[in-house]
Every structure is written in C-alpha cells, then in structure tokens.
Amino acid sequence: MTNQPQIKYRQDYRPPSHLISDIHLDFNLNEKKTRVTATSQIQRQTSEDTPLILNGENLILISVSVNDQIWPHYSQKDDHLIIEQLPKAFSLTIVNEIHPDKNTALEGLYLSGQTLCTQCESKGFRHITFFLDRPDVLARFTTRILADKKRYPYLLSNGNKIRQGELKDGRHWVEWADPFPKPSYLFALVAGDFDVLRDQFTTQSGRSVELALFVDKGHLDRADWAMSALKKAMKWDENRFGLEYDLDIYMIVAVDFFNMGAMENKGLNVFNSKYVLAKTETATDKDYLHIEAVIAHEYFHNWTGNRVTCRDWFQLSLKEGLTVFRDQEFSSDSGCRAVRRIENVRLMRSAQFAEDASPMAHPIRPDKVMEMNNFYTLTVYEKGAEVIRMLHTLLGESVFQAGMKRYISRHDGCAVTCDDFVQAMEDASGLDLTLFRRWYSQSGTPELIIRDHYDAQKQQYHLQVSQITPPTADQEKKYPLHIPLDIELYTKKGEVIPLQNQGQPIDSVLNVIKAEQTFIFDSVSSEPVPSLLREFSAPVKLDYPYTDQQLICLMQNARNDFSRWDASQRLLNSYIKKNIAEFHENEPLTLPLHLIEVFRHVLLNDNLSPALIAEILTIPSENEIAELSCFIDPDAIHFVRQKWLRFFSASLSETLWDQYQKHQTPIYRVTHTDTAKRALKNICLQYLAFGRTDIADQRVKTQYQTSSNMTDTFAALTAAVAAQLPCRDFLLSDFESRWHSDPLVMDKWFFLQATRPEKEVVDKVRALLTHPSFSLMNPNRVRALLGAFASSNPVVFHAKDGAGYTLFLEILTTLNTQNPQVAARLIEPLIRFKRYDSVRQKWMKQVLEKLKALNNLSKDLNEKILKALED
Ligand code: B3K
Ligand code: ZN
C-alpha cells in the first residue's frame, strides 16, 4: 500500500533478464501458515552479470540457495528480492512462508470458507513465492502439495496428477505436472473437500479427456448444467475454430469467495460458485445463460490466453477481447443471435460508453497503468471484443478463421502482443489494417454523424458520413478511425433496395476511413429509409435525424432483428430525451399515444421470437438513459422512466395480460423456446405490476405463490418491488425465510432490497450490513447489496442529501484495507462526479478527498481517486 503513484508505461517494456525454464513448487499446506519451497531452473539472458530481481509481496523469506548451496548474496527492497553474483545458469531454491487465513484481498493463496485456493492473475503469484511474476516468463511447473488428509482430501494443481502418497501422521501429498510451459498467472492450487461430478469428453482426434467439477458438499444437484456447458463449449471450439483441448484432464472448482467471475488457470479453472451452481429452484434463466457463457469463456482461454499468452499486461485485450468475442459467438450460435447481440450492445451503450466518458477512460490496449487490477474493464473486455468483431466483419468468417489459424500456429507457446494478432489477420487477408490498428491506441467513443440527400431526378442517394471522437480524460487529440458501417436501404413500404453504384453492387459494409466521406448509391427509385450501423457494426454513437415514420418502418420491416430492436430503442429514446427536457422545464411529459399501436403490433407479432419481443418492449434502463446526454440528472431519469412504465402498462394492459397468459411454460425446462417464452411473459408481468394496484398485487402474488422455478419467483418479486406493490414486503420476507441459508439465492434478495425505488433504502442497506446472511468479506455479497445499490439504484444512491455517498465513504474505508480490488470496483460511480450537478459533485468530491487522506490508501483506490480529482 502506498500513496506514491508508481506508473508503468507500455513503451517501457524490456524482455526479461532471465528465463525460468522449470519450476518445482512444494507446498506444506496449512490455512494458518503455509511453507512454500520453490526450485527454479534459471538462465541469464544478458552477457553482463545482471542481478536477478524477483517479485514477492507479503512473504516471509526463510532461505535462498543456489545450486543447493545457501546463498548469502541477496537483499530485499520494495517487494523485490535481489539476488547477485549468480552464474549464467543455475538452480535457485527459495523457501518462504505465507498466511492464507489472513489474506482477505483474495489474491495469491487464500481461504474461501473451508477451501484453500489461489488467484494469481495478474500479480497474485508474487503473494505465494518470489518469482519473475510477468506473463512473458513461461516455465514448466510441477507442484507437490502436502496437507492434512481429513481436512483437505482433494489436493489439486495444474496439469496431470503424477504421484501421490500418505504420511503416517494423517497427512497426504499429491504431485502434479503441467507439460505446457506457462506464465505464473496461470498457476493454480486448490485444497479442500468436495462433491465431484465426473464426466468425459472425446476430442475430434479421438483423445479421451477426463472432466471433473468440484463443488461444495451437498451441491452436486446444481452441477449438471455447468458440466454440459463445458462439453458443449469443447465441441463448439472444435467445430467453429478447429481448436481441441490439449491435456488429459480438465478440472473446475467452484468457490464462494472470489473477486470476479472465474479464472482460466491451465487445466484447473477456479470459479465463483455463482457461475457454476444452478438448479431450477435456485437459478434464473439468466443465471443459466451466464453460467454457460462463463464456462465457455474460461475454456476458450485455453487457446486464446494460455497456449498463446500476453507479452505484458498492457496487452490484456489480446486474450480478453478475443475470448469475449469467442464466447459471444458461442452463445449466439447456440441461442438466438439477435437477442445475444442486443445484450452485448446494451452493455456497451450503458456501461462501456460511460467508462469512456469517465476519468478512467483508456484505449483497449492501455499505455499507462498504476494498478493492473483496475484495467480488467469493459473497455478491455467488451470494447476489445467489438474490435475483434469489426475485424471479423471486415474479413468475413472464412478469412477471419484463416487469420486465427495463422495467429495460433505462429505464436503457440509464446507471449505476444495485440500487434502480432492484427499482423496475422493482415497476412491472412491481404487487407491493409494500418488505420484499423488505431482502435488499439485511441480511447473514447467515436460519433458517426450521418446526413443524407436524395436526388429524385438522378435516382441517387447520398450518405454523408463524418466521424469525430470527442477528447477523453486520458487523450486530448483524436484521429479518424477505420469504421465498418453496415447499412441497408428500404423503400417506405419496407422493401429492400439493392446497394449499387454505376451498375456495380456495393457491399453492405461501408469502409469509413476519413473524417468526412460521401457514399453514393444509384438506381434508388424513391427516397429510402436507411438502416444504419446494422448489428452495431462498430462501437460508436450514431447521429442521424430519424423521423418516427422511418423508425416505425424499420421496426416493422427490417430484415435484421437487431435493426428492428435498435429502431424501437431510438424511437423510445427520442421521446425520453424530450421528456427529460420537459421535466426540467416543469412541463407535462409528451407521451406519444400513436406509438402504442406500434408496440402492440410487436407484442402480437407471431413471426418474432418472444425473446426479441421482450427486448423490443423493454424501456431502456436508467443507466442506458443516462448515456443519452453528458449531464446526468438521476431524478429526471427516474421520473421519466417510471412514467413510461405506467404509460405502457395502462395503454397495453389487455394485450399484455393476453400475452402473459399465452406464454406460460407449465414445465420448467431451460430450452431456447421456453426461456424466450418466460422472458416475454415476465416482461408483461413487469408492466402489469404497474396497473391497477389491487389487480396487479393479486397477479404478482399469484405468480410468486404458484411458481415452481426461480425465474418466475424472482420475476414476481422484482415486479412487486419495482412497482412498490403492497405485497412486496410479505413476499420478500417469505423469500428470506425460505432461502436464508443459501447465500447465492440470498444475493437476489439483497439485490432487490438495494434496488427498491424508495428513499429509505439507504437506511435499509445500512441495516442489512449486519444481516446474518451478509458479510463484507464476501465479494458476491458486497456486489449484491452495495454494488447493486450504487449502480442499479441511481436515484437513491445519488440522493441530494448525500446519505448514499456517506454510507459509501464508510464502506470504502473498510474495504480499502480488506479487499482493495472490490473497493476499486465499488468506487466507480463516485469518480464520475463531473457529470452531475454541483450539489452532488461537492458531496462526491468530499468523499474522494477523505479517502485520499487515508494513510494506507491502496494503489487500486489511489489510481482512481487521483484520476478523478485531477481530471
Ligand atoms: N482472466 C480472469 C480475470 C482475472 C482478473 C484479475 N483481476 C477471468 C477472465 O477474464 O476470464
Ligand atoms: Zn477472460
């Protein structure tokens, strides 16, 4: 912990002074005190007598030996062990001790309930032993774990189990060998007692892989879904990317204390139990979907991340952007592509664009970093995936796959850069990607300003496209980018107009490469309705003066489902923006009755997937609305959104009720047809909840009481809370008494408590900090209660009396020392103070100043606070 900013720059990369070809780790495991003996085979890469400088934090050093001789020539300074007078090649043995039970930051080796487990990405390995803890040092690992057999019957690490044995004193040991050289961040160790779900997968080349899923005792009935997701992902990666698993065993362990979703350690994934455990009674359709996606994501890392890894942490998007793209494609191939795309785009527009507009703005490949953990961001992950998707759009599937093959065969077993990836794509396609590379270095959300002109006489249509990227906190000057702009033209009746110029067909993806460009289309016999930025073909904002008629035409006729949804959102957003202005002028809100028939038409359209209808009918969230303008007024946004909910509810009530009844799923199955039906049914219920109170109350209560699955139960509860129905407290306490001993289910309850649209919620949240199911030590609980409060209840969190902010000052002060990573995620809404009015700004700045004054401020918080206050 330090207050001194220590910034690292991408440009300062230097290859390591030494290579470590092999490391043998010996763990004498105990939750209170673990002794680690690490023996590494090291070769100096420089000709001069360069000292070996190893990373190590919070370690108690016992001894250093070189070639089996105690070595006195070392010193310790600032989390480094500096060893001198070394030969060119040597064997180094270091013995040190650590205290897993004191490790509340959950980085390195720590205790999750009764389980000992590790988290090493990005810099956790240095909390285990002294090492060259950087991703470009790849070593072959063998790991021997010795521990009490009763307490820790399972001792797991990467690779294959090669030996095991027992001691007379009740301890046992297991030795693992991972044949693939890997960086230290992919190391993993788990020790505990589990129920194990075992299965098997035969690869396309006929090898048999043993699959094992380790869950807390008693949770075997919640493991099946994750196991089938794993097998599905393995098959898909063979079919679509031609990539086959490489070890003889693939293990997944679910733990309760985990800072993020999951971790792709070689052959031994460690997962937040939230992304593994599911059964009908405890998990919602969304949970099932997320589990499948995260299981797939971590599995896909085996090639994009593990076999080909990052040269340095600035290159994080090399593995994360690409792997998110792969998991998105997996989910799209196995479900409804349009709906998956809509979910991704909602996240980009509501949260990634907000990150671009924040003091933490950075390119997908950052140039400077103070605390690496702060850069596992939506920009690196989601925008990174959008950049890969743009390459995919420009190259097409088969050339993209040729590029992937080239990338993997060229760099297998290596630590490489984002440039290496683009180079492989360039070589495979023959395209000039020089300008495209700018997406990696330029931050911010570009805006495409499109105007058009129709020349009836010449039957010509002109699209004038200009692009501008506004300055961001990290970069003043911006340059034009290579933006793939996917378009289609329709007649007013909704017929497609082929794109052509001088008799030649034009591809629907236009290459926007300059600040200003005009595209001309011939043989356009009537003024067209343009469908622009189809599929969100680039992570940009679009400014085009659509009329209601044009958007309605697209909603009803676009061939592409995503475009239908996008048109509906643009339509709603245009009125919502107007309403916010009206709210500020104290004027009555314009609620366009003529749109109701359009939405009713969608509701009744049997040709659309019910899941797509549900998306089209979803009014943008408060966070999505916030991104429609620079200045955020949470009160106005909340007021306007509530009005829309009631407006939809009142105007469509009968149709909603009909559709609600029509889309029942009497038996619970997680199939695409059924989850789509439930999505529509439950969005109908959300609106019905805002209808006449007595009827709404009865309907919601009935669904809750007759529900056989968590999807319907949670939907009913959510509706009751959102519409503040009389039954809500009764239902919430019923839920609590039923699930109080099931932490993952209780997270849903904490979420609902924290997102109640009621002013007293601050006090409720404060009171819930002492609820028996709550613990500030568990990141899932913190996210469910406090994360939800700050991010999903903006109107109460940002209350002008500052009560929400004050609560957060207290929480962040505790988490700063306890778990800096979790604290740094939680502080995000506060560092974005600039977008609010002066009263709120003052409160938020005060909180940041107080935190800044802490004498033990973590690097994680320090980086964010400094950026916010200097912005
Ligand atoms: N690679 C991990 C994330 C590690 C985060 C470290 N603070 C999970 C993933 O993206 O697959
Ligand atoms: Zn990942």
Summarised one tens digit per residue, pLDDT across range 740-778 is: 999 999 999 999 999 999 989 999 999 999 999 999 999
What mean pLDDT is reported for the chain? 98
Which residues neighbour 440 within 8 Å (Cβ) at sequence distance 6 or greater?
A: 317, 363, 364, 365, 387, 418, 419, 422
Q: For tokens 């239902």, name the residue.
A: 731
Do 183 and 291 belong to one domain?
yes
Atom of ligand 1 nearest to the CA of 320: 10
Q: By alpha-carbon position, which residue is closest to atom 2 of ligand 1?
A: 263
Do 607 and 498 belong to one domain?
no
Q: By alpha-carbon position, which residue is closest to atom 1 of ligand 1?
A: 263
Q: What confidence tier does 2 reach under pLDDT thresholds 50, 70, 90?
A: very low
Q: What confidence tier does 729 reach under pLDDT thresholds 50, 70, 90?
A: very high
Atom of ligand 1 nearest to the CA of 821: 7
What is the rounded distance in angstroms from the CA atom of residue 645 to the CA atom of residue 130? 57
User: What is the Å distance from ligand 1's center to 864 Cα?
Assistant: 19
- pTM here is 0.99
Residue among 258, 268, 320, 858 to mutate when testing ligand 1 (max atoms within 8 A of CB):
320
Domain membership of residue 715 (yes or no) is no
Domain membership of residue 796 (yes or no) is yes
Atom of ligand 1 nearest to the CA of 261: 8
Which residues neighbour 346 within 8 Å (Cβ) at sequence distance 6 or greater?
A: 621, 624
Q: By alpha-carbon position, which residue is closest to atom 9 of ligand 1?
A: 263
**Residue type at position 55:** N
User: What is the Å distance from ligand 2's center to 521 Cα?
Assistant: 42
Nearest to 482 by CA among 452, 450, 517: 517
Domain membership of residue 104 (yes or no) is yes
Nearest to 357 by CA among 468, 473, 477, 438: 473
**Tell me: the pLDDT tens digits for 792-811?**
999 999 999 999 999 999 99
Q: By alpha-carbon position, which residue is closest to atom 6 of ligand 1?
A: 121
Do 163 and 63 belong to one domain?
yes
Mean pLDDT of all residues in 263-276 = 99
Do 68 and 177 belong to one domain?
yes
Do 277 and 176 belong to one domain?
yes
Do 60 and 139 belong to one domain?
yes
Q: Contact 501/507 with Cβ under 8 angstroms?
A: no
Pocket of ligand 1, beta carbon within 6 A: 121-122, 260, 262-264, 297-298, 301, 320, 373, 376
User: What is the Å distance from ligand 1's center to 856 Cα?
Assistant: 26
Do 111 and 258 belong to one domain?
yes
**Tell me: the pLDDT tens digits for 33-60?**
999 999 999 999 998 899 999 999 999 9
Domain containing 458 — which CATH number? 2.60.40.1840
Q: By alpha-carbon position, which residue is closest to atom 8 of ligand 1?
A: 263
**Tell me: the pLDDT tens digits for 529-575?**
999 999 999 999 999 999 999 999 999 999 999 999 999 999 999 99
Q: At 178, which helix (H) or strand (E)? A: strand 171-182
Give the number of whichever ligand sits closest to the CA of residue 120.
Answer: 1
Residue among 263, 306, 309, 379 to mutate when testing ligand 1 (max atoms within 8 A of CB):
263
Helix (H/G/I), strand (E/B), else coil: 423: helix
pLDDT at 871: 77
Indicate the number of domains in the chain. 5
Which residues neighbour 113 within 8 Å (Cβ) at sequence distance 6 or greater?
A: 216, 255, 256, 257
Q: By alpha-carbon position, which residue is closest to atom 3 of ligand 1?
A: 263
Give the number of whichever ligand sits closest to the CA of residue 185.
Answer: 1
Do 429 and 452 belong to one domain?
no
Judge whether residue 111 has pLDDT over 50: yes
Q: By alpha-carbon position, which residue is closest to atom 5 of ligand 1?
A: 121
Q: What's the token pair of residue 257? A: 């204390």
Judge whether residue 3 has pLDDT over 70: no
Mean pLDDT of all residues in 836-844 = 98
Give the number of whichever ligand sits closest to the CA of residue 321.
Answer: 2
Domain containing 755 — which CATH number? 1.25.50.10
What is the rounded distance in angstroms from the CA atom of residue 58 to the CA atom of residue 127? 6
**Residue type at position 605:** N
Domain termination site, one of 235, 265, 300: 300
Do 188 and 56 belong to one domain?
yes
Domain membership of residue 3 (yes or no) is no
Atom of ligand 1 nearest to the CA of 305: 1
Helix (H/G/I), strand (E/B), else coil: 32: coil
Give the number of whichever ligand sits closest to the CA of residue 260.
Answer: 1
786: Cα separation from own chain's centroid: 18
Output the 3-class SS for 225-289.
HHHHHHHHHHHHHHHHHCCCCCCCEEEEEEECCCCCCEECCCCEEEEEHHHCCCCCCCCCHHHHH
User: What is the Å distance from ligand 1's center to 263 Cα?
Assistant: 5
Domain containing 427 — which CATH number? 1.10.390.10
Atom of ligand 1 nearest to the CA of 121: 6
User: What is the Å distance from ligand 1's center to 279 Cα?
Assistant: 25
Judge whether residue 688 has pLDDT over 90: yes
Domain membership of residue 722 (yes or no) is no
User: What is the Å distance from ligand 2's center to 84 Cα?
Assistant: 37
Domain membership of residue 374 (yes or no) is yes
Domain termination site, one of 633, 663, 693: 663
User: What is the Å distance from ligand 1's center to 123 Cα?
Assistant: 11
DSSP letter string, 444-497: S--EEEEEEEEETTTTEEEEEEEEE---BTTBS------EEEE-EEE-TTSPEE
Give the DSSP letter of residue 498. Answer: P
Give the DSSP letter of residue 373. Answer: G
Do 179 and 89 belong to one domain?
yes
Above pLDDT 90, what percent of the chain? 99
Residue among 264, 369, 379 to mutate when testing ligand 1 (max atoms within 8 A of CB):
264
What is the rounded distance in angstroms from the CA atom of residue 764 to the CA atom of residue 548? 43
Nearest to 541 by CA among 454, 621, 458, 446: 446
pLDDT at 48: 87
Mean pLDDT of all residues in 399-411 = 99
**Residue type at position 244:** E
Q: What's the token pair of residue 771? A: 């609820």
Domain membership of residue 436 (yes or no) is yes
Q: Contact 825/787 with Cβ under 8 angstroms?
A: yes
User: What is the Å distance from ligand 1's center to 120 Cα?
Assistant: 9
Give the number of whichever ligand sits closest to the CA of residue 270.
Answer: 1
Q: What's the token pair of residue 416? A: 């490489």
pLDDT at 864: 98
Give the number of whichever ligand sits closest to the CA of residue 324.
Answer: 2
Q: For tokens 């090493």, name the residue.
A: 120
Q: By alpha-carbon position, which residue is closest to atom 7 of ligand 1?
A: 373
Judge whether residue 667 has pLDDT over 80: yes
Do 752 and 659 belong to one domain?
no
User: What is the Å distance from ligand 1's center to 354 Cα?
Assistant: 21
Domain termination site, one of 441, 476, 503: 441
Q: What's the token pair of residue 161? A: 């189990």
Nearest to 402 by CA among 428, 421, 431, 430: 428
User: What is the Å distance from ligand 2's center to 87 Cα?
Assistant: 38
Q: For tokens 């929400």, name the residue.
A: 804
Residue 33 buriedness (CB in 10 A; 0-12 / 13-18 / 19+): middle
pLDDT at 1: 46
Judge whether residue 855 has pLDDT over 90: yes
635 is in which domain, residue-wise? 573-663
Q: Are strands 447-455 and 460-468 parallel, antiparallel or unpaired?
A: antiparallel
What is the rounded distance in angstroms from the CA atom of residue 265 to the CA atom of residue 249? 13
Beta-carbon neighbours within 5 Å of ion ligand 2: 320, 323
Do 773 and 862 belong to one domain?
yes
Domain containing 221 — which CATH number? 2.60.40.1730
Q: By alpha-carbon position, which residue is closest to atom 4 of ligand 1?
A: 121
Q: By alpha-carbon position, which residue is closest to atom 10 of ligand 1?
A: 320
Judge whether residue 478 has pLDDT over 90: yes
Q: Contact 649/656 with Cβ under 8 angstroms?
A: yes
What is the rounded distance in angstroms from the CA atom of residue 606 to the CA atom of residue 626? 33
Domain membership of residue 555 (yes or no) is no
**Residue type at position 670:** V
Residue 870 annotated in active site: no
Helix (H/G/I), strand (E/B), else coil: 415: strand
Q: Which of 107, 121, 264, 298 is catalytic?
A: 298
pLDDT at 258: 98
Distance from first CA to last CA of the chain, Å, rounded? 23
